[in-house]
A and B are shown apart, each in its own frame.
Chain A
């Protein structure tokens, strides 16, 4: 009990850190995921290849390995001087984008082919067809898998704590080092994650119902 009350600022900072990291890397994963899904269904072979390679790479690499690459390889080869937070954002965002891409692609495949053909037959370009006709109709089927993906992302963000980014899971290490009862710390940390993941699945369920009515 008093572990929480006595260290409320630490818990709050960790809680907010997890929320911010999840939101930012979730947004990055959405943008990348949509773009890469567009690549994967495009009529241009090099784009399709790039999309497939992207998904294969980021879906099959353990997230911890991506973190290690972001920490020790990216600064040396690409961009030195990135903050730990940015590196965590990139690792989580790229990793999750592969899953977002596949969820969106399977949603695209549920839209009848005739819809895209009708759009092309009135002169829409590939991107107009995707943006105006196919993606809006794919949205509803994509929501439930996206919900799971973002819950997984929330929990995956805990790895950032091990890389000394301020987030909820890192609070555990901080406090147990100070000698507090580990069981209570874990309980409060787990509760913090539960609040976030429940909020996510609630929001997505709301979204799903909203879209159901709008047809």
Chain B
């Protein structure tokens, strides 16, 4: 992996991992994503922030095509996202996704959750997949829970398993959609710490979150969205201490008053 770059201007195009160009998306009459242009470099950590309903989740979901787009292109590591089918399924495996509600497979044990994609999608041998799954579970600190079912784990543990499940596919980029929003306060940090470590290890990450501590310490860039548009982009310190747009000022004043 390349070193984490801090400046967003002087990046060589060859190192662009995720590129969105003129992306538009409607839900019926609602224009959820409006002319989104966004480039994420290899190893970069981008935090997406914005009011509820501004299209942050939809943005994440279009990047691995859980949602189709109406116009525009999305390219991952030089390859444009294909139409639905086997080809797309393969590309999705390269994009890890962590959901707000964990979405661990309820009928599988923790270990099976982390092995399933390896054996069924990557066709890895069982023994190898299990070894990798156990290593990852240890890394996120839930190695001792391997034989339990998801419902037997706390929210924080479930979310860390979900991160391990995504990492098991060896993704090029990880998407996090409000990974700590469904967690009790005392469990938020254990998940953020895993994400911090991932960022330090050079993983390319797109993180939708309102955790400003995380944004300040781990993000290279903050993207502020409102009403389906990218309103402002800046390095975290600049964004939080000196936002340019009124929408961002207004939004920050609301969440800072909490």
* Residues in chain A within 8 A of chain B (CB atoms): 43, 112, 114-115, 117-125, 128, 132-133, 136-137, 215
Contacts and interface: CB of A to CB of B under 8 A. Distances in A.
B173 interface: no
Nearest to A214: B107
Q: Which size bracket describes the interface of B in this complex?
A: 20 to 34
A206 B53 CA distance: 47
B93 A118 contact: no
B68 to A, nearest CB: 10
Interface in B112-164: 116-117, 120-122, 149, 151, 162
Contacts of A120: 66, 89, 92
A114 B158 CA distance: 14
Nearest to A123: B93
B103 interface: yes
A43 B86 CA distance: 13
Nearest to A114: B103
B71 to A, nearest CB: 20
A122 B169 contact: yes
Contact of A132 (B95, B116, B122): B116
B104 interface: yes
B249 to A, nearest CB: 35
B64 interface: yes
Q: Which 5 A-B pairs have CB atoms at the shortest separation, nearest pair first? A: A123-B93, A122-B117, A118-B103, A114-B103, A121-B97
A123 B99 contact: no
A117 B99 contact: yes
Contact of B92 (A114, A122, A132): A122
B73 interface: no
Task: Classify the secondary structure of A's interface with B.
Answer: helix
Interface of B: 64, 66, 84, 86, 89-97, 99, 101, 103-107, 116-117, 120-122, 149, 151, 162, 165-166, 169
17 contacts: A43-B84, A114-B99, A118-B104, A118-B162, A118-B165, A121-B92, A121-B95, A121-B96, A122-B169, A123-B89, A123-B90, A123-B117, A123-B122, A124-B89, A128-B120, A133-B105, A215-B107
A121 B166 CA distance: 8
Contacts of A43: 84
Contacts of B166: 121-122
B66 A117 contact: yes
B121 A215 contact: no
A121 B95 CA distance: 7
Given A122-B96, A123-B90, A132-B116, 9 more contacts: A114-B103, A115-B105, A117-B103, A118-B104, A120-B92, A121-B92, A123-B91, A124-B120, A215-B151
A215 B150 CA distance: 11
A138 to B, nearest CB: 10
A128 to B, nearest CB: 6
A133 B116 CA distance: 10
A125 B97 CA distance: 16
Contacts of A124: 89, 117, 120-121
Nearest to A140: B107
B120 A118 contact: no
A142 B104 CA distance: 22
Looking at B64, B94, B107, which has the most chain A CB atoms within 10 Å of its CB?
A: B107
Given A124-B120, A215-B149, A118 B105 contact: yes
Nearest to B90: A123
Contact of A123 (B84, B121, B151): B121
A125 B99 contact: no
B116 A125 contact: no
